[in-house]
A = this chain, B = another copy of it.
Amino acid sequence: METVKLPIGFRFHPTDEELLIHYLKRKVLSLPLPANVIPELEAFQFNPWDLPGDLKEKRYFFCKRKRNLVNKCGYWKSSGRDKQIAASESNNVIGIKKSFVFYQDRKLKTQWVMQEFSLVGFLKTPFLNQRLLMQVGDWVVCRLYQRKRKARSPSISKNELGASVAQTTSLLPMSPSCSSGITDISSSDLDQEASSRFL
């Protein structure tokens, strides 16, 4: 995977539509991609913190459509409704976004979210007065990120005097091993409870 060198502040932040039309669709059609930045990897098979890339950034992976949602440390649970993604110009539905949350040790809900994008096409039926929406292509593209835990910083008085230390919540990557990962989750869950009192 070649790296794209960018000035500070620039990053790969595609919209859902760009991801579907310019990356996934071209991948499915075996056409050259705008940039070679999305590795092929069965992302659902790994713990999210073990996947390559910067843990603080949104990460993208091409995966085969048939995926196993369980690995040895936990599983990905479907979260929320599937969302239809429409092309901004035509307003035609071009894809579906499904969201998953990672549960560690089969019970601990983590902050890790995987969004899976698949292409769709319409199938016309001679019998029904409606079109059927179908997933197409062998590939999907996934966006992995860690949901933020925000702690509100103390207010600053208008005369520019304020508390001297900011309260910030960092996104701590979890340990690569399952067991120590659980310890990390427990402690950060406590942090979340503590910080939620400020909200």
Chain A interface residue count, CB cutoff 8 Å, equals 49
A7 interface contact, C-beta 8 A: yes
Task: Assess whether A31 is interfacial by the CB under 8 Å rule.
Answer: no
Pair B6/A170 contact, Cβ less than 8 Å: no
> A133-162: which have CB < 8 Å to B?
133-135, 152-156, 160-162
A153 to B134, CA, bound (A): 17
Is the pair A13, B11 in contact by a Cβ cutoff of 8 Å?
Answer: yes
Kindly state whether residue A127 has any CB partner on chain B within 8 Å: no
Chain A residues packing against B (C-beta within 8 Å): 4, 6-15, 18-19, 22-23, 34-35, 37, 81-86, 88, 91, 93, 96, 122, 130-135, 152-156, 160-166, 168, 170
